[in-house]
Structure 1
Amino acid sequence: MQPSVELFSLPTGEQVKLEASSVCFCTVHRDEPQHKILVLVNPQDTKTVVAVYIKESWWPTEDVLRTSDPAREGLMKVQSFGERIVLFILNVVIFGRLERNLDDGDMFFLPHSVKEQAKILWRDGSAVGFYTTKRKGSLCGDGTGVCYLLPVFDTVFVRRTYRRQGLGMAMLQDFCETFREDEALGVSWPISPAMYQVCRKFLLAHPEERGRLWEVEPPGAWGQRGSIWLKVQLQQSRPPDCESQ
């Protein structure tokens, strides 16, 4: 008699077998490989994660992103390990495998560092986006003694169904307000086309920030900075035929 194969039922009604070919470990933090999470993938499409194993149970990915806490609304700092898992799901599972459009020039984000400063955007009881920052004085990477010379707006993501609602601008504004005392702030190079449009709209609406925002390569010395506002002005002054090329 063959042992029975356990099945996991998705919210769609589809059932996935809990077997070796559909279960794998993913690293939660790129700098601490011992922290792994067990995920269930769709056997027909192994890039699609359908559930994660948390607290001795399998949870559909969308359920992991939900909260019953009404106080969780807007941008909230990531502090608990549970919030780190939510950040991982948004970054690696939702963005990295489900909602990333390769034709759109979207960046690919690695799993975040365990020390990464991050905020999750909560809307209507669900986590719908995030942004991360490199703090001034934090190391630029493993194996280097070089530190960031200014706070940097590093990675940002908003779920497809919540785009074009000004949420990217709201996150950039929150970043600027968080580091109000700093004379210069960075946005990680290279800025994607979508992020450039967010910066453009933000600086048009907030002229007081035009002298503070720079596109930077680490660690952000003066020779590694470019004025985002100058870039916007140069783009606007181009002839129409240049824009379409």
Structure 2
Amino acid sequence: MKFVLKQTVVAVYLKGSWWSTEDVLRTSDPTREGLMKVQSFGERIVLFILNVVIFGRSERNLDDDDMFFLPHSMKEQAKILWRHGAAVGFYTTKMKGSLCGNGTGACYLLPVFDTVFIRRKQRRQGLGTAMLRDFCDTFQEEEALGVSSPISPAMFQVCRQFLSACAEERGRLWEVEPPGAWGQRINIWLKIQLQQASVPDRE
């Protein structure tokens, strides 16, 4: 796989041909709609383009033009969000029992909602909340679930909206640092309540 680089990546060389990045993200398969687990090599390429090219360069302001985001490990679970024949976002999960990183023997003690991305044109449509709901539904048997720390302001708003609507998830969703021991967890709903309590009422 090769890239044409200017200020942004405009084309990708795949299977003997050059493809625009937008073409790589399209699909003619009508069954690809909604959140779907990444399984095939082709889906890994789509994830790579969304993560490294779109998220890493095209739709992110960078101080350093040489900066890239590392592709996700093959061992990391990911789901791509398909809408109207195109990949428009993704989220990844650090699986319980997986290594926290190279050079460490520590493993995650709970599933962790890690990287989340939605393309700019698709934002403010409840898709982030849908991803978080899907994550929680995927691990219904787990007593505790994590969201990677630090939580961005946008992700914190997603958590607020989700937990306001889903009271049953308030006790098991935690902001965590790896590997997610109890001393490395903060209950997200409690954090939301404390933040609200610290804001003075406006009359």
TM bin (shorter chain): over 0.9
What's the counterpart of residue 216 of structure 1?
176
The reply on whether 1:149 has 2:113 as its aligned counterpart is no
The reply on whether 1:56 has 2:16 as its aligned counterpart is yes
- 2-side partners of 1:102 and 1:226: how far apart? 30
Unpaired segments of 5 or more residues in structure 2? Answer: none
- 2-side partners of 1:226 and 1:100: how far apart? 28
How well do the aligned residues superpose, as a CA RMSD in angstroms?
A: 1.7
The reply on whether 1:98 has 2:58 as its aligned counterpart is yes
**1:154, distance to aligned residue in structure 2 (A):** 0.5
- 1-side partners of 2:61 and 2:90: how far apart? 18
The structure where strand makes up a greater share of residues is: 1
In the alignment, residue 112 of structure 2 is paired with which amino acid?
V
Aligned mate of 2:126, from 137, 152, 166:
166
Contact 1:152 1:188 in 2 (8 A): yes
- State the SS of the aligned residue for 1:237: helix
Contact 1:117 1:134 in 2 (8 A): yes
Aligned mate of 1:226, from 186, 198, 203:
186
Q: From the CA coordinates, give the structure whose radius of gyration is larger.
A: 1
Q: Residues 207, 101 of structure 1: CA spacing in aligned structure 2 closer, same or farther, 3 A cutoff?
A: farther
Aligned mate of 1:117, from 71, 77, 80:
77
When normalised by structure 1's length, the TM-score is 0.78
Listed as ranges, the matches of 1:58-207 within 5 Å are: 58-101=18-61, 109-207=69-167
**1:171, distance to aligned residue in structure 2 (A):** 0.3
Q: Residues 212, 85 of structure 1: CA spacing in aligned structure 2 closer, same or farther, 3 A cutoff?
A: same
- State the SS of the aligned residue for 1:76: strand
Q: Residues 239, 102 of structure 1: CA spacing in aligned structure 2 closer, same or farther, 3 A cutoff?
A: farther
- 1-side partners of 2:12 and 2:62: how far apart? 25
Unpaired segments of 5 or more residues in structure 1? Answer: 1-36
Q: Once superposed, which parts of structure 1, at least 4 consecutive aligned residues long, lie more than 6 Å away?
A: none
In the alignment, residue 113 of structure 1 is paired with which amino acid?
S
- State the SS of the aligned residue for 1:130: strand
Number of residue equivalences: 198
- 2-side partners of 1:175 and 1:184: how far apart? 12
Percent of aligned pairs with the same residue? Answer: 80
